[in-house]
Chain A
Amino acid sequence: MNYYEIIFYVFAVLTVVSAGVVVFSRNIIYSAFALLFTFTGVAGIYVLLNADFIAITQLLIYVGGIMILLIFGVMLTTNVTNVEITTQTLKALPATIVVAIVSALLVSTMVSTKWAVKDPISVESTTINQIGELLLTKYLLPFEIASIVLLIAMMGAAFLARKN
Chain B
Amino acid sequence: MLTQQILDGLSKFYPETILSVTILVIVFVELFFKKKTRVSGWIAMAGLAAAMLFTFLQVNIPAQTIFFQMVAVDPFSYFFKVLLILSGFLIVLFTFLSDEIRSSEFKTQEYYALLIALTLGGFLMASSVNLLMMYLALELSSLSSYVLAGYFKKSNRSSEAALKYVIYGGVSSGLMLFGISLIYGICGSLDMFAISAYLSANPVNLITLLIAIFLMLAGFGYKISAVPFHFWTPDVYEGSPMPVTALLSVSSKAAGFAMLIRFFLVAFQNAGHPTITTEGLHQYITLPGLHWPEVIAVIAVATMTLGNVVAIWQDNLKRLLAYSSIAQAGYMLLAFVVVSPQGISAMLTYLAVYLFMNLGAFFAAILISNKYKTENIEEMKGIGYRSPLLCVSMAVFMLSLSGIPMTAGFIGKFYIFSALINNGYIWLAIIGLMNSVVSLYYYIKILKNMFLIRPQGDTGAVSFGAGYSVLLLALAIPTIVLGIFFGPLTKFAEYSVQIFGLK
Contact = CB atoms under 8 A, between A and B. Distances in A.
User: Do A and B associate with each other?
Assistant: yes
Contact of A148 (B9, B23, B130): B23
A86 interface: no
Contacts of B447: none
A157 to B, nearest CB: 8
B144 A152 contact: yes
Given A149-B136, A156-B146, A156-B147, A116 B70 contact: no
A160 B150 contact: yes
A149 B208 CA distance: 31
Contacts of B124: 145
Contact of B110 (A115, A155, A164): A155
B205 A141 contact: no
B6 interface: yes
B27 interface: yes
Contacts of A106: 211
B186 A164 contact: no
Nearest to A102: B211
A137 B205 contact: no
A146 B186 CA distance: 26
A140 B5 CA distance: 12
A110 B198 CA distance: 19
A159 B117 contact: no
B71 interface: yes
Contacts of B133: 141-142, 145
Contact of B136 (A113, A146, A153, A164): A146
The dominant DSSP class at the B interface is: helix
Interface in B184-234: 185-188, 198, 202, 204-205, 207-208, 211
Contacts of B113: 152, 155
Interface string B136-160: 1101100110110010010000000
Interface in A107-162: 109-110, 112-117, 137-142, 145-146, 148-149, 151-153, 155-157, 159-160
Contact of B20 (A115, A137, A148, A155): A148
A137 B186 contact: no
B68 interface: yes
A141 B70 contact: yes
A149 B143 contact: yes
Given A153-B143, A156-B147, A145 B185 contact: no
Interface residues of A, number: 29
B120 interface: yes
B204 A114 contact: yes
B187 A116 contact: yes
The dominant DSSP class at the A interface is: helix
A5 to B, nearest CB: 22
B461 interface: no
Given A113-B205, A140-B67, A152 B186 contact: no
Given A116-B185, A148-B23, A148-B140, A139 B207 contact: no
Nearest to B215: A106
Nearest to B209: A113
Given A112-B205, A113-B205, A156-B146, A148 B120 contact: yes
B23 A151 contact: yes
A138 B120 CA distance: 21
Contacts of A115: 185-186
Contacts of B139: 149
Given A116-B187, A148-B117, A159 B70 contact: no
B132 interface: yes
B114 A145 contact: no
Given A148-B23, A160-B153, A142 B136 contact: yes
A67 to B, nearest CB: 17
Contact of B140 (A139, A140, A145, A160): A145
A23 B186 CA distance: 31
Interface string B93-134: 000000000000100001001100100100010000010110
Contact of A152 (B105, B143, B153, B185): B143
Contacts of B27: 151, 155
Interface of B: 2, 6, 9, 20, 23, 27, 67-68, 70-71, 105, 110, 113-114, 117, 120, 124, 130, 132-133, 136-137, 139-140, 143-144, 146-147, 150, 153, 162, 185-188, 198, 202, 204-205, 207-208, 211
The 3 residue pairs across chains A and B that have the minimum distance between CB atoms:
A156-B147, A116-B188, A141-B67
Given A145-B133, A152-B114, A155-B114, 13 more contacts: A109-B208, A114-B204, A117-B188, A139-B68, A140-B67, A141-B67, A142-B132, A151-B23, A152-B23, A155-B110, A156-B146, A159-B110, A159-B153
